[in-house]
């Protein structure tokens, strides 16, 4: 009997050589799970494939809305337009500057903000905590923010973008939660050894907090990279424009190309008409590339950081 049921089961080998047996129920569950995940994957993947396909397809196929998840024909005019732009590379440099400097300064300031919330024992700690949390619930709005930036003399400066998003209450809470998971005895023993709070923070706590800092760093970088409205409001000089502003301008200009159709050769007619749609999708692809480059290097931190603070041990 045992042998028959053994033969009926699928044997699965684990890494260390032990065997676990999958039951029929497991097999069915895995099958259904796989099916659902494939369906979900297709929902998530289809828009990306459609976007990529439109950006590369033949212009008339784009005009007839025939493009689905693979390119029809080949017309890289949108990418030619984007990569021929002299403003593009300067804007990428600006965006990298804002993202990197913003990330480093954010991490430092977030750690400084979260440390007293996690390890501090001082009069007014609750008030301090609520002051930070208050900003998570209420905001002054665009005009007060603009006036503040003007008064600080940061208008038309990349530092306006860096300072504006430097400390976000939500991230402070995330970092504080992680700091709480570090045993207090580490801090106490450092104090006994004569270390002050700055030394404890920068030489002990921060090195122990790599997962949370890497996760928050990724969020901060993505936030700065994709930021459009703040750049639109605070930057006026072309040399300070970030990538999203330049890409948006390209899309708007490309959409105007329909008004440039003339009696000149047919080769330009369909291209001009489809340019708006193709550029709109191509800029999405181009703006995704840096994140695709960055993500493999921080993926393990991101995944381990997903469950930050959820398990106390």
Positions in the binding site for other proteins (CB under 8 A): 60, 63-65, 83-84, 86, 88-89, 142-143, 146-147, 150, 155, 229, 232-233, 236, 238, 245, 248-249, 252-253, 256-264, 266, 268-270, 272-273, 289, 292-297, 299
Which of 188, 199, 220 lies closest to 305, judged by CA?
Answer: 220
75 versus 111: smaller Cβ distance to other proteins:
75
105 versus 253: smaller Cβ distance to other proteins:
253
Q: 12 phi and psi, to 5 degrees? A: -120, 130
Q: Where are the alpha helices (DSSP H) in the chain?
A: 2-8, 24-56, 59-63, 77-83, 86-119, 125-137, 142-151, 159-164, 169-180, 184-192, 197-200, 206-208, 210-226, 229-234, 243-255, 266-305
Minimum CB separation from other proteins for residue 100, in Å? 15
Minimum CB separation from other proteins for residue 295, in Å? 8
Cβ–Cβ under 8 Å, residues 161 and 242: yes
C-alpha span between 24 and 245 (Å, rounded) = 55
Minimum CB separation from other proteins for residue 138, in Å? 20
Please list, in sequence order, all residues whose beta carbon lies within 8 angstroms of the beta carbon of residue 304, skipping any fewer than 6 positions away. 211
Residue 192 Cα distances to 173, 185, 189, 205, angstroms = 28, 10, 5, 16
Tokens 């580490």, residue located: 186
C-alpha span between 121 and 131 (Å, rounded) = 17
Minimum CB separation from other proteins for residue 256, in Å? 4
Minimum CB separation from other proteins for residue 16, in Å? 25
Minimum CB separation from other proteins for residue 253, in Å? 5
209 versus 277: smaller Cβ distance to other proteins:
277
66 versus 189: smaller Cβ distance to other proteins:
66
3 versus 86: smaller Cβ distance to other proteins:
86
127 versus 263: smaller Cβ distance to other proteins:
263
């Amino acid at each position: 009997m045992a042998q028959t049921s053994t033969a009926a089961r699928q044997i699965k080998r684990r890494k260390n050589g032990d065997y676990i047996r999958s039951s029929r129920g497991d097999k069915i569950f895995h099958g259904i799970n796989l099916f659902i995940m494939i369906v979900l994957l297709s929902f998530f993947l289809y828009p990306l494939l459609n976007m990529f396909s439109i950006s590369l397809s033949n212009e008339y196929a784009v005009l007839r809305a025939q493009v689905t998840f693979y390119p029809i024909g080949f017309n890289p005019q949108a990418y030619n337009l984007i990569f021929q732009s002299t403003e593009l590379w300067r804007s990428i440099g600006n965006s990298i500057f804002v993202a990197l400097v913003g990330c480093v300064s954010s991490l430092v300031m977030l750690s400084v903000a979260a440390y007293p919330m996690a390890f501090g024992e001082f009069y007014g700690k609750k008030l301090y905590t609520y002051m930070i949390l208050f900003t998570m619930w209420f905001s002054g709005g665009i005009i007060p923010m603009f006036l503040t930036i003007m008064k600080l003399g940061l208008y038309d400066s990349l530092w306006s973008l860096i300072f504006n998003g430097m400390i976000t209450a939500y991230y402070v809470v995330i970092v504080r939660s992680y700091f709480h998971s570090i045993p207090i005895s580490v801090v106490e023993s450092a104090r006994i050894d004569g270390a002050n709070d700055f030394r404890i923070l920068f030489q002990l706590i921060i090195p122990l907090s790599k997962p949370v800092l890497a996760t928050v760093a990724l969020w901060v970088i993505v936030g700065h990279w994709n930021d459009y409205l703040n750049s639109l409001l605070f930057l006026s000089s072309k040399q300070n424009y970030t990538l999203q502003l330049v890409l948006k301008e390209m899309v708007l200009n490309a959409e105007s190309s329909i008004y440039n159709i003339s009696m000149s050769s047919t080769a330009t007619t369909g291209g001009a008409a489809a340019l708006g749609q193709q550029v709109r999708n191509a800029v999405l692809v181009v703006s995704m590339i840096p994140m695709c480059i960055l993500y493999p290097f921080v993926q393990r931190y991101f995944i381990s950081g997903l469950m930050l603070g959820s398990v106390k041990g």
